[in-house]
Amino acid sequence: MTDLLQQLINGLALGAIYALLALGYTMVYGVLRFINFAHGDVFMLGAFAGYYLAGPVSKVIPAESYLGGIVVLALAMGICALLGVIIELIAYRPLRSRPRLTVLITAIGVSLFIEYTCQHEKVFGASPRKFPDLIPNTTWDIGGVVVGSAQVIVLVTTVLLLIGLTLIVQRTKIGTAMRAVSFNPQAAALMGVNVNHIISFTFGLGSALAAAGGILFAMNYSSIDPLMGVQTGLKAFVAAVLGGIGNLPGAALGGLLLGVIETFAGGMKGISNYRDAIAFGILILILMFRPSGLLGKQQTEKV
């Protein structure tokens, strides 16, 4: 029983990170209808931003304090939001009217460019690095279930960010505009919505969440490298499809589910080696039997 609970908590902590990333995929898919392959790399850049910010911030605010952790997180989110906007502006905006396949391949190109540039020895280098402790590192033992402070922070931060995102999307003017653009860009433009601004905003918002995911991932696994976003990014995309792409609660649910399933599979003898294949197996099953995802609406195709 304690084993199951332990796995569940580990799974939720992993799933929360998938959820943060999946939200970015789903939002971008909502407004632009393409898979932003570079999203996983923004996640990686977020973790590295945290790595480099931890030192300077600790000079002002004592290291390993909750306040310091929050400041690093907020700064990294800001930096990555800016990066996301820049990537969209340079690489995707000139291709706005092109076929989606062209944009998709460009996105893979951008992703490769970020990965290989960061692996260069003059940038980050290819070898993994140890991520500094941003918050006091304590563990609690609750009836045999071990919970680390990093895991608690991951879950709490994710919940807070999700509430914040829901408020932005549902309650603010710009959130309403976002929903309008994802519903019908032409009609939204006719209603006076500046579609390009909204797309930039969406990229910024998604990238900020990815950066938060990157730092939380690094806090939990304490090792970062320039390719950390590749597998995680693909799996987070699977989570977005699992929940129904374009659907925000769906992305969160898909992320949590995928994290829990993967952790349980990793703990089982016999299939633990196939852990990395499980996400894709789920993806294929979902697309075969429920292509619109768990919470997505079925869309009929018009000719």
List residues binding another protein (CB under 8 A): 34-35, 91, 94-95, 98-102, 104-106, 108-110, 112-113, 115-117, 120-121, 234, 237-238, 241, 273-274, 276-277, 279-281, 283-284, 287-288, 291, 303
For another protein, the closer of residues 71 and 240 by Cβ is 240
CA-CA distance, 65 to 200, in Å (whole number)? 33
For another protein, the closer of residues 159 and 277 by Cβ is 277
CA-CA distance, 230 to 112, in Å (whole number)? 10
Q: Measured from the CB of residue 267, what is the shortest distance to another protein in angstroms?
A: 17
For another protein, the closer of residues 143 and 270 by Cβ is 270
Beta-bridge partner residues of 141: 146
Q: Measured from the CB of residue 178, what is the shortest distance to another protein in angstroms?
A: 21
For another protein, the closer of residues 122 and 173 by Cβ is 122
| Structure token digits, residue 213 | 């995911």
Matching residue, tokens 């938060």: 212
- Burial-class residue 176 by CB neighbours within 10 Å (0-12, 13-18, 19+): middle
- Burial-class residue 225 by CB neighbours within 10 Å (0-12, 13-18, 19+): middle
Helix 173-183 / helix 149-171 crossing angle, nearest 10 deg: 80
- 19 within 8 A of 255, measured Cβ to Cβ: yes
- 225 within 8 A of 214, measured Cβ to Cβ: no
Q: Measured from the CB of residue 254, what is the shortest distance to another protein in angstroms?
A: 14
| Structure token digits, residue 173 | 């003017």
Q: Measured from the CB of residue 190, what is the shortest distance to another protein in angstroms?
A: 26
For another protein, the closer of residues 160 and 277 by Cβ is 277
Q: Measured from the CB of residue 33, what is the shortest distance to another protein in angstroms?
A: 8
Q: Rounded to the nearest 5 degrees, what angle is found at the Cα of 128, between the Cα atoms of 254 and 229? A: 25
Q: Measured from the CB of residue 9, what is the shortest distance to another protein in angstroms?
A: 26
For another protein, the closer of residues 113 and 264 by Cβ is 113
**Amino acid at position 246, single letter:** G
